[in-house]
Structures are given as structure tokens and as C-alpha cells.
Amino acid sequence: MTVEIDRNSGFCGGVIRAIDGAERILAEGGVLFSLGAVVHNESELARLRSKGLVTVSLDDISSSSSSPAPDKAPVSGDAKTLLIRAHGEPPQTYRIARERGWEVVDFTCPVVLNIQKSIREARAAKGNGQIVIFGKIGHAEVLGLVGQVGGDATVVESLSQLQEAVASGKIDLQRPVDIFSQTTKSPVEYEQICGYLSAQMEGTSLLTIHNTICRQVASRHKELSEFARSHDVVVFVSGRESSNGRVLSDLCKSVNPRTYRVENASELDPSWFRPDDNVGVCGATSTPKWLLEEVAGQIKNLH
């Protein structure tokens, strides 16, 4: 059995920037608080927790009494540093944090920052316009995007949801529409959604399509399809909470039915493999290289 790790898998640039920043601050000593999980991968979070990173919620930083869950360090005191992760946050989060005395270090991905700016500019330019976002409802990045216009945006997770929003009048095709995508969504699905709106609004100049899927993520779809197709078995490594992990693992599964998603090496099942298999190991933009190597090493030891 041969095992190959996908050379293109691993952290995206935004996640690398946030984790490098967190480790740099932690190396100076003390505790650093992350607003939400800095990466959707429990194995990597455990590694960062061992270095002193503490994950807190908006309720934690908003509370004057500052009493987080029992497994967290106390968030009271004078020196409180809060990390904003790559997903970004709405403007009100920064206001709340500073009002409560937090020092904010912002590691929002530059790609996400540009989308946030574009959404604000679209609203300013078209007072009666509508903002539509293709993304996962409730996802941290999407909440940050919606927050740029005070929540006045429509989020759709699929073409069927978009069609329902149009049919119900929630999206009015007689008014300007600016459509954006969460950075990690499927380029194929976004193309379908934009194609539907283009067909419905043909002959008007009311639709503006913004190409906001991260280029690094978009190229991964083509590369990963080829990687999955070229192996007998694919083991996809990602956290259960990773939206990008779900999209990419589903992509692998559509190309190669013998695709299995795991969080770590302990979830591997020997029955998945045959002695003469060529196995490919790959992962999400939130999966660290060290974890891919650990899983690949365990697979090699199965036979």
C-alpha cells in the first residue's frame, strides 16, 4: 500500500496568519483570548491551548463579571488581549470589546476584509439596493459580512433557498441586487446561483456579481478533484465544525466514492484499505500539515 499526502492541502494564508500571530503573542508570555475558535480543528486547538490560548465567546467578553466556562482562564483583570480570527467580526464586536477594556489584535483575513469593505460600499452607493450573501447561515465569516450593513442582508445556502427568497418577494428583482459569496464556498454552486439571478434579471443593469470566493480556495476544488480521482482511497482530514471541510470532503466523495472523513488518526478503520491500494491523504484549509502527516503515518502502519 502506498500513501501520498496532497501537497496543496493544509492551512490557507488567512489561517496561517492568525495562528502565527497567536503563537508570536503567546511566546511573549501571559494568556491570549481568541474570540471563537481560531481554527475549526480540535487537534490544532488542543495544541494552541497547551501554549496558553483561551477561546471565549461574545457573551464572555460582554459580561462585566467576566465568568467564562470552568475550563477557561478568567477574563477579568487589566491586561486582556483579544484575538479576532481570520473569519472576521461585525463592527459592533470591536465596539463592545473596547468598551469592556479589551486590547484587540485583528487577524481578519485580508480577503475577508476586502469583502466587508465591498459590502459597505455597495450599500452606500445604492441606498435602496439589496445585499445577498451565498454562505452558511450562522457561520462566523457570514455574521461578520452581514454585520457590515447592520444585519440588512439576505443569506442563502443553496439555489433552492435563493429561488424561495425570490418567489416570496424577500429578494425583489425590481431593485438593485449585489451578490457576494462566503470565501470558502463551492465555486460551482456560486456560479449556478449567480447564473439563476442573471437569467431572472436579464435585460436590466440591476445585478452586480462580486467574485468573492478566495482564489486559493477556488483553485483547490480543481486540484482536489484531480487528486481524489487519481487515488484508490481518499482519507480527508478536517474538524467536524469546518464548513470548508464539509464542502471539500463532499467534493472528494463525488469524485471518489471510497472517500472517508476523519478528525484524526484514531478514527481510521483498517477495513477501508486493501494491501495494493494507492491512498491519498488530504484536508481542509483549517487542517494543519502535522496532522495530515500523522494520519498518513498511521495508515502506513495498518498493513
CATH number at residue 151: 3.40.1010.20
Whether residues 122 and 82 share a domain: the answer is no
Whether residue 228 is found in the same domain as residue 288:
yes
Domain count, the chain: 3
**What is the average per-residue pLDDT within 83-93?**
96
Q: What is the pLDDT of residue 79?
A: 55
* CA dist., res. 122 & res. 129, Å (int): 8
Taking phi first (over 0 means left), then psi (-120 to 50 degrees means alpha), and beta for anything else, what does residue 35 get?
beta
Nearest in space to 72 (alpha carbons), one of 103, 32, 21: 32
Over the stretch 48-85, which tens digit does the pLDDT of each residue have?
A: 999 999 999 999 988 744 444 434 444 544 558 999 99
What pTM value is reported for the model? 0.86
Q: Which three cell numbers stand for residue 157?
A: 445556502
Same domain, 120 and 204: yes
Same domain for 130 and 203:
yes
> Do 201 and 219 share a domain, yes or no?
no
Residues 199 and 227 in one domain: no
What pLDDT digit, counting tens, does each position of 124-142 carry? 999 889 999 999 999 999 9
Which domain covers residue 239, as residue numbers?
A: 2-10+215-300
**If you average pLDDT over every residue of the chain, what do you get?**
92
**Which one is catalytic: 44, 141, 157, 263?**
141
Q: Is 141 a catalytic residue?
A: yes
| 20 contact partners, CB below 8 Å, separation of at least 6 | none
